[in-house]
A = this chain, B = another copy of it.
Amino acid sequence: MATTIHVKDYLRRLTGQPVSAIDTPALVVDLDAMDRNLATMAAFADVHRVKLRPHAKMHKSAEIAKLQMAQGAVGVCVQKTSEAEAMVAGGVYNVFITNEVIAPLKLVRIAALTRQVLPHAGRIAICVDSIEGITRLATIMNESRAASGIATEINMFVELNVGHNRCGVEPGAAAVALALEIRKHPALNFTGLQAYHGKAQHLRTPAERRVAIADAIKAVALTRRLLEAEGLKPGLVTGAGTGTVMLEAASGVYGELQAGSYLFMDADYATNHRESGHPKFEHALFVKTQVISTHADQGYVVCDAGHKSHAIDSGMPKVHAFSSRSTLEYFNGGDEHGILKPAEGNTRLPNLGSLLWLIPGHCDPTVNLHDVMIGVRGGLLKGTVERIIRVDARGAIT
């Protein structure tokens, strides 16, 4: 909405220009680093013989989702109905809403999506953690079938609480009860278990993460045994994030990985101590900013990127250090400003107009602040703008 005529003209002219032509603040993707991350994860999933369904809530871009699928991903995950709509509108037809949807207004939209993806051999999937969630969706799917004359189905994953303590039923009998309920409705297809442990992603040591995911695997295994005892196929187990992906991949239980952040790697994930054998990813997402006010006598400068340019829910951004000289620390300066101070005593403060690159603390909500990502090839210092990547699902919250 904010994209004024000036900004549109500027973006139109930007492709092919050097990095220096990018005004600040701007969200910039290092395409070389992104491509390497893309290939690393595709190879990793191959080696472990698990499916990859990256979480598109991270990049929110149909263009990038299609890049991931071209390298073997079976589809994408999203968190919201409107994100699913943005993906389908952008030509991504295999979409899993890894969240509970209760509002009838949204369930009608989801039913519409199950029809929209049919001609493209696509499939919509969704999570559920309550009987009421199932019956509401079944009612609306049935109405949609009756009205359209098309017998669409939707894939249903029962969400287990494997330690994240947010949505999801407790592992075991409660999950089986939901699977049995799903089976009663012809439009609903019980497909498996959603077992994502969000909190484990940000445990800093491999040992802590191993304990957390071992618990999740136990919870999943128990639930699968109970499902089989009821004569149900336990189906696919799906979950994992960039922090723990090695553990789920090697579990023999998880059949699908949902990691998303690996593609851009944020400052928060970079503080995790790496598990041996865990794939290695590079920072590929940056906020380009510049110094707009200098206060050498007080030991700080001010840049033009505040928390309207990058999310701060997982901490402040890190200042990217191209060389050992440039060790600056970023402090919160409000919506539109950052305060930069030397992280070590002998660092020289940058001059007015100096350009700096920030590594956001958390990719997903950072991307959500921007209409576009500027894709650069050939490095942040001497590279060229290759293309403008639209954030199709920006602001998609319903």
Which A residues are closer than 8 A to B by beta carbons? 1-7, 10, 23-26, 57, 60, 79-80, 82, 85-86, 89, 99-103, 105-106, 109, 112, 129-130, 132-133, 165-168, 198, 290-294, 298, 302, 304-305, 307-309, 311-313, 332-337, 339, 352-353, 364-365, 368-372, 390-398
Nearest Cβ in chain B — how far from A51, in angstroms?
23
Number of copies of this chain in the oligomer?
A: 2
Chain A residues touching B, majority SS: loop
Taking each of A24, A105, A336, which has the highest tally of chain B beta carbons within 10 Å of its own beta carbon? A336
Contact between A336 and B89 (Cβ–Cβ < 8 Å)? no
* Chain B neighbourhood of A80, CB < 8 A: 336
Contact between A334 and B198 (Cβ–Cβ < 8 Å)? yes
Contact between A102 and B309 (Cβ–Cβ < 8 Å)? no
In chain B, what residue has the closest Cβ to A25?
B397
* Chain B neighbourhood of A24, CB < 8 A: 103, 398
Given A336-B397, A397-B309, A398-B7, A298 and B82 contact (CB-CB distance below 8 Å): no
CA separation between A99 and B305, bound complex, in Å? 12
* Chain B neighbourhood of A339, CB < 8 A: 166
Given A2-B392, A24-B398, A26-B398, A308 and B99 contact (CB-CB distance below 8 Å): no
Contact between A86 and B2 (Cβ–Cβ < 8 Å)? yes
Given A2-B394, A6-B85, A352-B132, A105 and B23 contact (CB-CB distance below 8 Å): yes
Q: Could you give 5 example pairs across A and B, Cβ below 8 Å?
A: A2-B391, A5-B89, A6-B109, A308-B397, A313-B332
Nearest Cβ in chain B — how far from A127, in angstroms?
10
Given A7-B82, A337-B167, A395 and B1 contact (CB-CB distance below 8 Å): yes
The contact of A390 among B1, B79, B333, by CB within 8 Å, is: B1
In chain B, what residue has the closest Cβ to A101?
B292
Nearest Cβ in chain B — how far from A10, in angstroms?
8
Contact between A302 and B167 (Cβ–Cβ < 8 Å)? yes
CA separation between A157 and B5, bound complex, in Å? 27
Nearest Cβ in chain B — how far from A190, in angstroms?
19
In chain B, what residue has the closest Cβ to A372?
B1
* Chain B neighbourhood of A336, CB < 8 A: 57, 79-80, 99, 397
Given A308-B365, A365-B307, A167 and B392 contact (CB-CB distance below 8 Å): no
